[in-house]
Chain A
Amino acid sequence: MLNDIFIKPFADMFAAPDFLLQVLWEGLVSGILYALIALGFVLIFRSSRIFNFAQGIMVVFAALTLVGLHAMGIPAWISVGLTLAVMFVLAVTIERVVLRPLVGQPDIILFMATIGITLFLIGFGEIIFGGENKVMITEELGIPTDSVVLEPWGGLLILEQKDITAVVVAGLLVVALLLFLGKTRMGRAIRALGDDHQAALSVGISLQTIWVLVWFIAGIIALVTGIAWGARAGVSFALEVIAYKALPVLMLGGLESITGAIIGGLMIGMLEKLFEIYWGQPLMGGNTETWFAFVLALIVLLFRPQGLFGERIIERV
């Protein structure tokens, strides 16, 4: 028993390093996607203290809109533009209809409101696009679908090009986002709002504009995530499940930290794959990916209640 837990998995790893690399790569790719969803959460949380549960369904909704528009005969890249327009309309609508009347309410109320939005979008999406699984328009968008075969140590490592594309695009998106937040006027306004609402309002930053902007950026991130994940697994409402995975990522990385979201996402993606392959399947009957991330995050939180990169929680009476 002890041998199975402590020795055999590591022996297996050393015996087949190419397989280990393959597992890590798979984990890295899903980790990137978790990180992207978590990024959407973090942006909205930082600027408005809203725990946006709807981020997952926004991913599905964006991907479905893209595929749906393309199915109507619109060229792929124009569909992407139109989808962005739809996400913008969605952001404005959510701000107008839901958030504006709820300004200043307790966090849990706003959280519930985003769950309400989630349900609404699920129903709406199913009526418009139907519930069946759809194929992402990978080739039409010019994403290569071949795979790269490497042979480290005489083994075999298969990297799919669409996964490589996803990693690269996600990296670029994160850099762009960090530049936007750090260097532009709008980005600084977002961060100011996150630091102190009232102070930001008093120097003339418009809450409404920033909220729409932030939700729109979250929508763009959702679209990228939707394309990347859809290319791997098809587009359906099952995608929503991965949104839950972003939650332990947030816990691990800290609710306010962009770096935390990315590092947390990669860590969770890789560790859960490793655990599943080397411990979960042989010892526990598999499918441990559903809970591993949460338990890991829980254990980390016991030692660091604000997550690895979150703002230190200072409590005063």
Chain B
Amino acid sequence: MLYRTAGQFKTSYKSDMALFPVRQDAVLLMVILGFAWVVFPLTASEFAFQTLLIPILIYALAAQGLNILTGYAGQLSLGTAAFMGVGAYACYKLVTLFPWMNPVIAILLSGIFSAGVGVAFGIPSLRIKGFYLAIATLAAQFFLVWLFEKWGWLYNYNASGAIQVPNLDMFGLYVAGPQASSIVQYYVVLAVVTLMTLLCINLTRGTLGRSWKATRDMDIAAELIGINLMRSKLTAFAVSSYVVGVAGALFVFMWRGAAEPNLFDIPLSFRILFIAIIGGLGSILGNYLGAILIVGLPVMLGTVPQALGLPISSATVEHLNIMIVGALIVFFLIIEPHGLARLWALIREKLIIWPFPH
């Protein structure tokens, strides 16, 4: 009833291909955006900002970057965290070399470095496919993390070997560093994420996105119908690494506040891969659903034993968390291998025809 599409006629190609051919989708999105931009900031506590809202947005953005590569262009990558690291370290170098630079501009620029590195490690994809490529991306993962540790210039030769986010201000307001308030950081993250999502949606709908999808579905066939595979694969690596790099810069500058090289180790890569796969490969919405699940679940599980008054040590809770997340991954893969986004698509179909059975 609520989702009836009857009566919404498309009279031109343009309206048929619009971003939201169904009016209710647009309304729903406006409601969600309203919550994200107005309601959450007004009501959320410091705890909610730091453990839920900001990380969910950042993880969703990183997953979105990975999804472009894996979900749209079909190139499995296990090195996401390293590219996040490139973004973070590039951003750190930018703000320390050019202190006058606007931090948001620095974050957006740092993605370019990550994109460059991404293209370099994407070149083997022209010859290597499938799981072989996945392992090849691990080369990027391990090599880059090693480089973050050994190349002193990257962290300005400080003794701890970690990067520490300095206080950065924009129009007289601290946006990063120890003095920044959560709400400002939340708005910066939200703005960047919204911008990136808009970019991703439109890229994946356009010529480039279609050539990625063709490459994913069968690359030889795509080549035969005249798609330049090299361009398609390398642009996928570039765009994906750009988005991931921006997410990495946000990850350190807007959330963690400091980073050691091993922060960007392989567990982070897998975390983001989980988000992309549980959310749904080849879907933008899925990244958000996956991030909500993967980030929100441990927070929820952490509060359950306290609420029930069970005397469980925090170490046990952490191990239980790992175990439950593992089990849930398997569970979700079994009930819906195409991810939460597909689940939503099915629900939406049902809503459109409801209350009729067909």
A: residues with CB less than 8 A from B are 51, 97-98, 101-102, 105-109, 111-113, 115-124, 126-127, 131, 244, 247-248, 250-251, 255, 284-285, 287-288, 290-291, 294-295, 297-298, 301-302, 305-307, 313, 315-317
Q: In residues 207-224 of chain B, which contact A (Cβ within 8 Å)?
A: 218, 220-221, 224
Contact B334 A248, beta carbon cutoff 8 Å: no
Contact B146 A291, beta carbon cutoff 8 Å: yes
Which residue of A119, A288, A301 contacts B329 across the interface (Cβ within 8 Å)?
A119
Contact A294 B325, beta carbon cutoff 8 Å: no
Contact B139 A295, beta carbon cutoff 8 Å: yes
CA–CA, A316 and B324, complex, Å: 42
**Closest CB in chain A relative to B312 CB, distance in Å:** 10
CA–CA, A108 and B274, complex, Å: 11
Residues of A within 8 Å of B281, CB to CB, are: 108
Contact A298 B146, beta carbon cutoff 8 Å: no
**Closest CB in chain A relative to B128 CB, distance in Å:** 5
Q: A interface, by DSSP: helix, strand, loop or mixed? A: helix
Contact B320 A123, beta carbon cutoff 8 Å: yes
**Closest CB in chain B relative to A185 CB, distance in Å:** 30
Most buried by A among B146, B315, B328: B146
Contact A302 B127, beta carbon cutoff 8 Å: yes
Number of interface residues of B (CB under 8 A): 46
Given A248-B139, A297-B136, list of 5 further CB < 8 A pairs? A116-B328, A248-B135, A250-B135, A255-B131, A302-B128
B132 at the interface (CB under 8 A from A): yes
Check A301/B322 contact, CB under 8 A, given A116-B327, A250-B135, A315-B220.
Answer: no
Residues of B within 8 Å of A113, CB to CB, are: 329-330, 333-334
CA–CA, A122 and B318, complex, Å: 11
B323 at the interface (CB under 8 A from A): yes
**Closest CB in chain B relative to A98 CB, distance in Å:** 5
Residues of B within 8 Å of A247, CB to CB, are: 135, 138
Which residue of A288, A298, A313 contacts B129 across the interface (Cβ within 8 Å)?
A313
Residues of A within 8 Å of B206, CB to CB, are: none
Contact A294 B135, beta carbon cutoff 8 Å: yes
Which residue of A51, A109, A123 contacts B323 across the interface (Cβ within 8 Å)?
A123
**Closest CB in chain A relative to B230 CB, distance in Å:** 15
CA–CA, A231 and B34, complex, Å: 59
Task: Determine the residue in chain B with the shortest Cβ distance to A295.
Answer: B139
Contact B323 A294, beta carbon cutoff 8 Å: no
B178 at the interface (CB under 8 A from A): no
Q: List 19 A-B contacts (CB under 8 A).
A: A98-B334, A109-B337, A113-B333, A116-B328, A116-B333, A120-B326, A120-B327, A122-B322, A123-B320, A126-B319, A131-B319, A287-B150, A290-B142, A294-B139, A298-B139, A302-B127, A305-B132, A317-B218, A317-B220
Residues of B within 8 Å of A97, CB to CB, are: 330
Task: Determine the residue in chain A with the shortest Cβ distance to B322.
Answer: A123
Which residue of A123, A294, A317 contacts B324 across the interface (Cβ within 8 Å)?
A123
Contact B322 A119, beta carbon cutoff 8 Å: yes
Task: Determine the residue in chain B with the shortest Cβ distance to A97.
Answer: B330
B174 at the interface (CB under 8 A from A): no
Q: In residues 120-139 of chain B, which contact A (Cβ within 8 Å)?
A: 124, 127-132, 135-136, 138-139
Residues of B within 8 Å of A108, CB to CB, are: 70, 76, 277, 281
Task: Determine the residue in chain A with the shortest Cβ distance to B339.
Answer: A109
**Closest CB in chain A relative to B320 CB, distance in Å:** 6
Task: Determine the residue in chain A with the shortest Cβ distance to B142.
Answer: A291
Contact A109 B333, beta carbon cutoff 8 Å: yes
Check A126/B330 contact, CB under 8 A, given A102-B337, A109-B337, A295-B139.
Answer: no
Contact B129 A287, beta carbon cutoff 8 Å: no
Contact B326 A301, beta carbon cutoff 8 Å: no
CA–CA, A315 and B128, complex, Å: 13
**Closest CB in chain B relative to A64 CB, distance in Å:** 13
Residues of B within 8 Å of A317, CB to CB, are: 218, 220-221, 224
Check A301/B132 contact, CB under 8 A, given A122-B326, A317-B220.
Answer: yes
Q: In residues 339-357 of chain B, which contact A (Cβ within 8 Å)?
A: none
B266 at the interface (CB under 8 A from A): yes
Q: In residues 262-307 of chain B, which contact A (Cβ within 8 Å)?
A: 266, 270, 273-274, 277, 281
B143 at the interface (CB under 8 A from A): yes
